[in-house]
Amino acid sequence: MKLTLLTGVAAAALFANAAFAADLATKKAALPPPPPPVWTDTLTVTGWLSGGITPNFSNHINDFNFGHLFTDRTGPLFNQGVLTIQRPLDPKATGFDYGFKVQGMVGSDARYTHFLGELDYVIRDRTQLDIVEAFAIAHFPVLFEGGVDVKVGQFVTLEGAELITAPDNVFYSHSYIFNFGIPLKHTGVMTISHALPWLDIYAGVTTGVNTSIGWPGDNNNSASFHGGVGLNLFDGELTVLATTHIGPENPKQLDPWGVGWPNTPVVCGCDPNSTLRYLNDMVVTWKATEDLTFITDLNYIRDDGGNVDPFTGRGRGVEGYGVAQYATYKINDIFKIGGRLEIWRDNNGFFVAGYPSSVDFANLQHGFPTPSLITAPPTTYLEATLGVTITPEVPKNPIITGLILRPEIRYDTSLNNTTPFVNGTRGTQVTFGFDAIIPFTLR
């Protein structure tokens, strides 16, 4: 009797479940299909605030850190206030797709990131305005299985292991390669061909290094090539990005004093529209384990102008080259330690410089006089940086999404007995840097 009762209950339960499932399926079938995703669904509005301080205990003369750009002052700096509005491409798109990115910045970093002719003299104080990127991008399912992306507008360079955007870097201070060996931004057209699952080919035409369009946005009248190849190997555990930028980059401002070769720019003693600058960089990233990553940045730059012969007034060419090795290890979700060891040779004392005035860097790129410019003799620089990235958990709220703290200690020295630091009086310097980054999201 009990067995019969249990069997009946079980059968009733099964029948009820089946009936409920059938009824649910009927109701779902009767509902209208969900609307297709809207293009604006992936539109985001994000940003961050960042600032820091870099005391120099080797310097008792002034508040300047030679060999640094974005951390060149020993006192507090408001480095970046950034707002980004973008709709990125769908990485899984198999058909046509399009998007855009507009990124603006206010802060002391803008002194070194301007597009020429855009906001570079609007504010002449340490805190300035800048457009970091402003481009449209589209994906076309043509030529290759992975298609081709076309970017038009103003965008950051392909080169280097470090970026303008503070949260994307391991350290507060930047390498010599980032400061002096690569361009930062371009105006033009860039194509990214996804030739194979492991191979991307980059090719584009730009107006030059950190330039916009037309005088004074472009400091000469010639275009440049920017491109390279990207390799994605072993399921992304090893990546290689080898890139070059080739074109005339010297400003066309003439020597106002008539010194040197007649009617040639005083900066290079050359024809600025045909004298080439070659900026070459290769970044190799190896994710050795889930927590341990190594990055190697190889760099070579040459300008056929510069190093002006005092007898002929003609440029004889200048070059710089070096390597930076990074290692990072994630201890846990809060702490990640990092190290950077770099050697960079400024073979003619041409590239590494200090810019005490807030408009010195813009003046130099335009070809205007820069009387306060700090230079150094040909030097082989070594810098070693050790730091920690701290990302403590913050109370949940709808706007602030985190906190990044980056203390570091950095040692700079000359390997060939020159004295480029502390107003040309020392061969070494030690700095202690610390910055804080507050990311936020508005959409």
The most distant pair of C-alpha atoms in the chain lies apart, rounded to whole Å, by 118
Query: What would the DSSP string read from start to end of 307-352?
Result: SB-TTT--B--EEEEEEEEEEEEE-SSSEEEEEEEEEEEETTS-S-
What residues does each domain of the chain span? 42-441
Cβ neighbours of 440 (radius 10 Å): 17
Q: What is the DSSP letter of 290?
A: S
Q: Which of 308, 307, 181 is nearest to 245 (CA)?
A: 181
Do you know the residue count of the chain?
A: 443
**Domain 42-441 maps to which CATH number in 3.40.50.10130, 3.40.50.10470, 2.40.160.10, 3.20.19.10?**
2.40.160.10
Q: Are 375 and 346 in contact (CB under 8 A)?
A: no
Q: In a 3-state reduction of DSSP, which class is residue 249?
A: coil
Contacts of 243 (CB under 8 A, 6+ apart): 157, 158, 159, 202, 226, 227, 228, 280, 281, 282
Mean pLDDT by groups of 10 residues along the chain of 443 residues: 43 46 50 68 95 91 93 96 96 91 98 94 94 97 95 98 98 98 97 97 96 86 94 96 94 53 54 88 97 98 81 78 98 98 96 94 86 94 98 92 97 97 94 98 93
Q: Are 116 and 363 in contact (CB under 8 A)?
A: no
pLDDT at 94: 86
Q: Are 411 and 384 in contact (CB under 8 A)?
A: yes
pLDDT at 7: 45
Q: Are 97 and 138 in contact (CB under 8 A)?
A: yes
**CA–CA distance, 107 with 49 (Å, rounded to integer):** 9
Peptide bond into 216 cis (omega under 30): yes
**CA–CA distance, 81 with 83 (Å, rounded to integer):** 7
**CA–CA distance, 382 with 311 (Å, rounded to integer):** 34
CA end-to-end span of the chain: 65
**CA–CA distance, 328 with 283 (Å, rounded to integer):** 15
Query: What would the DSSP string read from start to end of 102-113?
Result: EEEEEEGGGGGT
The token pair that represents 404 in the structure block: 């990044």
Beta pairing class for 224-233 and 238-248: antiparallel
Cβ neighbours of 137 (radius 10 Å): 21
Cβ neighbours of 164 (radius 10 Å): 25
pLDDT at 263: 45
